[in-house]
Amino acid sequence: MRFDLQIIASWIEPGAKVLDLGCGEGELLYFLKKDKQIEGTGIERVESKVTRCIEKG
């Protein structure tokens, strides 16, 4: 995972609710759901990135 996303992830408490604006392909949300069991929602306007995010789950 990118270094900047690692820093952001360190700020998030396990089980938190997260809204990721401009989530891209969902890399941060994917990690947080897997590692910290967060409840997350991502918002992205680039269709190709939305498709990739959906594929990741």
The structural domains of the chain, with segments of one domain joined by +, span 3-56
Tell me how far apart the alpha carbons of residues 38 and 51 are, in angstroms, rounded to a whole number.
21
1 — pLDDT class (breaks 50, 70, 90)? confident
The closest alpha carbon to 41, from 53, 29, 50, 25, belongs to 29
pLDDT by residue (tens digit) across 11-32?
999 999 999 999 999 999 999 9
